[in-house]
Amino acid sequence: MPAEEHKWFIEHTSPGTAHMFGVVNFLKSMRTEYQQVEVADTTQFGRILILDGKIQSAEYDEYIYHEALVHPAMLICPAPRRVLVTGGGEGATLREVLRHPTVEKLVMVDLDREVVEICRELLTSWHQGSFDDRRVELHFMDARQYLEETDQLFDVILSDIPEPVEAGPALKLFTRQYFELISKRLVAGGAFALQAGDCGLPFIEAHSAILNTIRQVMPLALPYRAFIPSFNTEWGFILAAAEGREMPAAEALDLLIQERRLDLRYFDGETAGSIFALPKDIRARLAAETRTIDDDNLISVY
């Protein structure tokens, strides 16, 4: 389609940079109680979900993001039975967790019921009916409040919370206090993974501070990244676990994937070796980080 025949969505990634997406049609644009939500069909990436002006996932490549978020933590645990997802409104994180045959209970806690309902209606290829799986238990409330009030323990906790945008609902879900709550709700030997913002220079500031904060709370915190085409950057994740846990070697990881009969498009042993191997300049930047995020010292992205 010639450029002059479609609209443009511009995602501002910093005061001096932006991504542009040719839009065929806007299917939804509204303000919920908590955030601005938009769903659009684009020329290159298919359908996209946008929250507060930031693309959360795209039909073309959401499998990369969600497989990278979910499977390292799930595979580091021998037989994950109880899993908690905070955020994850598209339902694709649920989809990936439910691939693991040992899962008996999957709790999802999302603040914004309206966003989840929009995703259930318009992002069916993301969730593929996962919201209706008998193992799934949905709670529409603040994830931090849920962690403070529950006495349940989980084998794996996955945080699929949007970036901490200034004045957004996620600011206190990247703090030391939040990660301490996560740690208390993990079984001995449990694992935690989260999306942790842009991992590419020069936009690594938030990711670096999040990693340093988790390292104050959990014995093992491993940064990793995956290139997400619709984000046009190396996106950062962090895997945190009990001391003594480590990502299996490539052959062992492939065997685990085969044993669990996981039909994955992106993640396997060779991919794990790549995404956990950070380049020298990124390692140096992360090693130099001294900031700790807490309730009195929040961090936000542009």
Please identify every residue annotated as catalytic: 160
Beta bridge partners of 144: none
Structure tokens given for 11: 């995602």
Query: What residues have CB less than 8 Å from 228, skipping those under 6 apart?
Result: 61, 64, 65, 235
Provide φ and ψ at 195, rounded to 5°: -75, 135
Nearest CA-CA partner of 155 in 256, 244, 260, 84: 84
Q: 120 vs 11, 88, 279, CA distance in Å? A: 24, 12, 38
Distance CA 20, CA 11 (A): 6
Q: 220 vs 47, 68, 70, 85, 98, CA distance in Å? A: 36, 18, 17, 20, 25
| Cβ atoms 175, 183 nearer than 8 A | no
DSSP E strands: which ranges in the chain? Answer: 7-14, 17-31, 36-42, 46-51, 54-58, 82-87, 105-110, 136-140, 154-160, 186-198, 220-228, 233-241
Torsion of CA 238, 240, 246, 247, to 10 degrees: -40
- C-alpha atoms less than 13 angstroms from C-alpha of 114 in its C-beta half-sphere: 13
